[in-house]
Amino acid sequence: MRFTALSGETFSTSGLRGKVVLVNFWASYCGSCVREMLRIADTHAKFAPRGYETIAVAVSKDDPARVASFARAHVLPFPVVIDDGTAAKQFGNVRLTPTTFLIDKQGRVLRRYVGEPDWAELHRLVEKALENSI
């Protein structure tokens, strides 16, 4: 699957193999998504130096200008993309936000969270995935 970030950068999920990846489907009009995004940024900062990547996928119904404004205002340290509906379909027809996927280095989904993750559990899974023990 190919993504184009708000920055114009293009990348594919296959190009992220070898990294542990968190893919978060969110919306700028979703209060719990907005609160969660700050925790996602903290998690990214904690693990990125060790081969962890985050992709924030704004749902197709969201206003691109509002998404871009949010990303700039909060200086999100990872790619933010706006879905045209393709990513949501590829990830099993995501319909609710926030929905988050943790993907291992081989591209397998380790965990799907609907709603805010249990952050301690998520961090433990990320640690194990980075160590290749799962």
- The torsion angle over the Cα atoms of residues 74, 66, 90 and 108, rounded to 10 degrees, is 0
Question: Would residue 9 count as lying in a domain?
Answer: no
Decide: 88 and 60 in contact? Cβ < 8 Å: yes
How far is residue 67's CA from residue 58's CA, in Å, rounded to a whole number?
7
pLDDT given for residue 115 in this prediction = 95
- The label of the residue with tokens 């379909």 reads 89
Structural domain tally of the chain? 1
Question: Which of 131, 134, 129, 108 lies closest to 20 in space, CA to CA?
Answer: 129
Question: Would residue 39 count as lying in a domain?
Answer: yes
Question: Would residue 1 count as lying in a domain?
Answer: no
At 85, which CATH number? Answer: 3.40.30.10
Domain that holds residue 120: 18-130
Q: Tokens representing 96?
A: 């609710």
The model scores a pTM over 0.85: yes
Question: Would residue 101 count as lying in a domain?
Answer: yes
pLDDT band per the 50, 70, 90 thresholds, residue 11: confident
Decide: 47 and 121 in contact? Cβ < 8 Å: no
Question: Which of 37, 102, 92, 100 lies closest to 67 in space, CA to CA?
Answer: 37
What are the residue ranges of helices labelled H in 22-77?
Answer: 31-47, 64-73
Question: Would residue 90 count as lying in a domain?
Answer: yes
- Inform me whether the pLDDT recorded for 102 exceeds 70: yes
Length of the chain: 134
Per-residue pLDDT reduced to its tens digit, 52-65:
999 999 999 999 99
Question: Would residue 73 count as lying in a domain?
Answer: yes
